[in-house]
Chains A and B, each alone.
Chain A
Amino acid sequence: MKNRAALLKTLSMPLALAGICAFFAVKEPAFLGPRNLSQLMVEFSITGTLALGMFMILLTGQIDLSVGSGVGLIGGTAAVLVTKQGWGAPAALAAGLGVALALWALMGTLIVKQRIPSFIITLGGLLVFKGVFWKVIENSTIPVMGVDENLYSRITTYYLPANAGFVLAGVVVALLVLLEWLDRSARAARGLPVPSAARAFGLLALVAAGIFVGVDRFNRFHGLPVTFLILSATAAAVYILTRHTPFGRYLYAIGGNEEAAVLSGINVDRVLIGAYVLMGATVAVTGFMQTAYQGSSSTTVGDLMELDAIAACVIGGTALKGGRGTVWGVLFGALIMASLLNGMTLMAVQPEMKFIARGTVLALAVWLDVRLGRT
């Protein structure tokens, strides 16, 4: 009985995702078509990247409500620099990133040093950033493209050629095998139990197959989208940060018991500010992707994205009070949120119904999480 509950627990997310996809596939066969899948992956990449930043904030037990406005502001700033100021795209993107890092470092510092709750500071950020955003774009629509395609606009319009995609997939798989082998030999060398080779490499074979099938699906449209590469790189970075560095341990420790973390010698202030700066970086990257995806910056870019990011984390099993969650869970949650939105848009569902559906799914997911006792 215990095992059944555990099984149900691990399977609940894949099942939910499969259910959502099956529903849309039946209602609207184009959902699984190569074009829409490619688009879905772009949208998933955008939601997922922001959710990964939010994940590190939530792990510490803090929250960030300002990221949606931030996405608009940073994307808009870069767009204005390119289109109105005539900057080159790389310089404009770098400037946007710099602004984001500075803003989030400032918010992190206020939260930590002045002891203002993050809920309040970032709620303030939500409003202030939105106001500044609208001033920056002067309540108008600013295209990301000047005369020609540039680095900024290509973020969502460039696709890796088919062969390059396969080569990249091969490199990634080879890297995964190498890492697994290195890990196993390191454990063996220290006399630690090594998990069964058949199981580990079997799993890797499955992952490899998944990667190649995925690349093949992408190639049936235009190829691997750049945004998906950005998400993959972000996910890998956040995974390594949270699982393989002291910083990541400290995120979990602070969220689990902040007082004990302090007495364990952790510089809690520095870790928290670090988490906010990383959040700022993902906000900037998401801002570029989302604005480029829309083709231009306008007043509604980024609206409610903070809630999608939080929802993705929570659906993926991240605890709002901190200390619990995984990168895989967050990616699953983001995919569920993105599929839901994409499918509903494809079916031309009214916007009001979309809000209701998103909210219901979030509440349902958390309720299930509690019922299945994932603690």
Chain B
Amino acid sequence: MSAPLLEARDLVKKFPGVIALKGVNFALAAGEVHALCGENGAGKSTLIKLLGGIYPHGSYEGELRVDGKVAAFHGIRDAEHAGIAVITQEFALVDELSVAENIFLGRAPRRGLRVDWLEMQTRAAALLKDFGLDLPPETPVRQLGIGQKQLVEIVRAMDKKSRVLVLDEPTAALTEQEVEVLLGHLRRLRSQGTTCIYISHKLDEVFAIADRITVLRDGASIVTLTTKEATIPIVIRHMVGREITDLFPKKVGWSALTPTRLDAATAEQRVGVNALHPQPILSVRGLNVAPAKGKPAFLRDLSFDLRPGEVLGFGGLMGAGRTELLMHLFGAWGHRLGGEVTLRGLPYARPTPGESIRRGLVLASEDRRRYGLILGQEIGFNLSLSSLRAFTRVGGRLDLPAEEVENQKFFSSLRVKAPGQHTRAGTLSGGNQQKVVLGKALMTGPTVVMLDEPTRGIDVGAKLEVYELINALTAEGKAVILVSSELPELMGMSDRVIMLHEGAVGGEFARAEFAQEKLLAAAMGHAHAA
């Protein structure tokens, strides 16, 4: 049997205070799609950075072999020469350049000394068309949504004709159609001989595409299974080291008897919510919002109510206006053309983030690196950033010990995996960063919590913790607005779902009416077709 295309032997990678990898072994056979699964902080991102040459040879222990020979990558270029292309969760695109320029970044077709723009445009247009992307190649990348950016990155990597394509959460921001397109292309590439390492938290996707799965847990490789012999529950059991019986532990209703903060387990007795609280906590009537003054309305005629103890889900395709709606209610986006918003019985005409937080309306953004965290600062700094008012004493002085105690409380109860609250936020894995973002929002003591894609890019175990957090919030009588691209999650956790279609309500559904096809039809503007 020939040597594996890529092989990791006993990889160990240490950081100050943390051992990220403590013995990873896996072998990549030529022509297979090999999935890596594991919880946040299991070591997936570290492993990829090692494969991609970002952590150079010598900074880790153990061996990396390509075609049976020990590989010593000293940088990304070495890895690319060996035919390994890594596409990470963070975009490596230049916002100010066009799609075509980004695809051919650093390897533009030339005519003499000049860039052959025509050739570049033509080839880019062909590639995009081939990929099924309806996107003019001259579009500036800055204008693209998060999902489209990801697709452009994948197009670029595919065009580099790499032997090993490493995809880190490629579908985290894609709609279901886009995912299907991507998987289709991966299958085509596999049949043409490309090998692929595929990292995703979406296990159904993993089973749809992968030949084999290696599970990582706490920095070690646990097991490698073929998808034929494995099932989703088996993989999950290996990932978390315990059985998870209920993927969406939704608890309906609200009880005044259980005012515990973050502990859902004690919230057993529930009462029907709407009977107790006929008054909405947030009420929106005829809301019309433009991206900026003088522009036409993007959010159109939105009306809905949100009651205490309720989870209201917002779904829709990419660009339907879900994020914009949350950002506008919070006071961070758009110019209101008309409509009324009432928050806890008071009109709320001119929202700003500061005023929203004071009134008990918080937002945890989908783009946590951009909007959520000060990555260069400590976890504690981030946790309390929106709540400093509570620690300010006479003369404007901060009560630092009181702040540290509160930070520690959230740090522990959210189970952030880090040496301590003084660890820098930028060093955390995606799921742990998400926990810090949530902690920051919750520390303000909100009554309405808006969660934009709270489980994007995080693993099953951490997802479960987010769901339990939602349960704990509603158990306290708080209201939650949940935006998610994953229909099962939306249906699993919401009491009611509104599907947005091009900035307007495409359909509204009570829990009893939930059905994937109906919701999807509403998102596509065919509310009555299904």
Which residues of A come within 8 Å of B, CB atoms?
2, 183, 186-187, 189-192, 240, 244-247, 249, 252-253, 256-257, 259-267, 323-324, 375
Contact = CB atoms under 8 A, between A and B. Distances in A.
A143 B357 CA distance: 54
Contacts of B352: 267
Contact of B370 (A247, A260, A267): A260
B374 A192 contact: no
Contact of B440 (A186, A189, A257, A264): A264
A245 B388 CA distance: 9
A256 B353 contact: no
A244 B388 CA distance: 11
A192 B398 contact: no
B26 interface: no
B375 interface: yes
Interface stretch (B172-180, B282-290, B399-407, B519-527): B399-407
B400 A191 contact: no
B396 A187 contact: no
Contact of B363 (A252, A261, A263, A375): A263
A263 B365 contact: yes
Contacts of B353: 262-266
B373 A190 contact: no
Nearest to B377: A256
B357 A265 contact: yes
Nearest to B364: A263
Interface string B369-390: 0111111110001000110110
B509 to A, nearest CB: 30
Given A263-B365, A265-B353, A265-B354, A246 B376 contact: no
Interface of B: 16, 330, 332, 352-354, 356-358, 363, 365, 370-377, 381, 385-386, 388-389, 392, 396-402, 404-405, 440, 444
Contact of A190 (B388, B397, B401): B401
A191 B405 contact: yes
A87 to B, nearest CB: 33
Given A186-B399, A256-B377, A263-B363, 10 more contacts: A252-B377, A257-B370, A257-B374, A263-B332, A263-B353, A263-B371, A266-B354, A323-B377, A324-B376, A375-B376
A186 B402 CA distance: 9
A267 B353 CA distance: 8
A245 B376 contact: no
Contacts of B376: 256-257, 323-324, 375
14 contacts: A2-B16, A190-B405, A240-B397, A245-B397, A246-B396, A253-B374, A256-B377, A261-B374, A261-B385, A262-B332, A263-B363, A264-B440, A265-B444, A375-B376
B172 to A, nearest CB: 20
Contacts of A259: 370-371
Contact of B389 (A186, A246, A256): A246
B369 to A, nearest CB: 9
Among A245, A249, A257, A265, chain B packs the most CB atoms within 10 A around the CB of A265
B381 A245 contact: no
Contacts of A192: 401, 404-405
Given A246-B388, A323-B377, A187 B372 contact: no
Given A245-B398, A249-B388, A267 B354 contact: yes
A252 B356 CA distance: 22
Contact of A263 (B372, B375, B392): B372
A252 B381 contact: yes
Q: Which of A189, A245, A324 has the most CB of B within 10 A?
A: A245
Nearest to A189: B401
A138 B385 CA distance: 50
B18 to A, nearest CB: 13
A326 B483 CA distance: 40
Contact of A253 (B16, B332, B377, B397): B377
Contacts of A2: 16
A249 B371 contact: no
Given A247-B396, A252-B377, A265-B354, A186 B371 contact: no
Nearest to B373: A260
B123 to A, nearest CB: 35
A215 B276 CA distance: 71
Contacts of A252: 374, 377, 381
Considering residues B330, B356, B365, B401, which has the most beta carbons from chain A within 10 angstroms of its beta carbon? B401
Contacts of B377: 252-253, 256, 323
B404 A264 contact: no
A261 to B, nearest CB: 7
A246 B332 CA distance: 21
Contacts of A247: 396
Contacts of A186: 399, 401
A324 B381 CA distance: 13
B371 A260 contact: yes
B307 to A, nearest CB: 25
A244 B405 contact: no
Contact of B374 (A240, A244, A256): A256
A303 B392 CA distance: 40
A256 B400 contact: no
B368 to A, nearest CB: 9
Contact of A260 (B357, B374, B399): B374
The 6 closest A-B CB pairs, nearest first, are: A256-B374, A265-B357, A246-B388, A265-B354, A265-B353, A264-B385
Query: Which of A189, A191, A262 has the most chain B CB atoms inside 10 A of its CB?
Result: A262
A260 B365 CA distance: 9
Nearest to A324: B376
A52 B66 CA distance: 54
Nearest to A187: B401
A253 B386 CA distance: 11
Nearest to B402: A190
Contacts of B381: 249, 252-253
A2 B365 CA distance: 36
Contacts of A245: 392, 396-398
Contacts of A262: 332, 353
Nearest to B365: A263
B427 to A, nearest CB: 12
Nearest to B384: A249
Contacts of B365: 263
Q: Which of A192, A253, A256, A267 has the most CB of B within 10 A?
A: A256
A253 B385 contact: yes
B398 A246 contact: yes
Nearest to B399: A186
A261 B444 CA distance: 15
A190 B358 CA distance: 27
Nearest to A194: B401
A257 B405 contact: no
Contacts of A266: 353-354, 385
Contacts of B332: 262-263
Contacts of B358: 265
A324 B424 CA distance: 13
A259 B352 CA distance: 13
B405 A246 contact: no
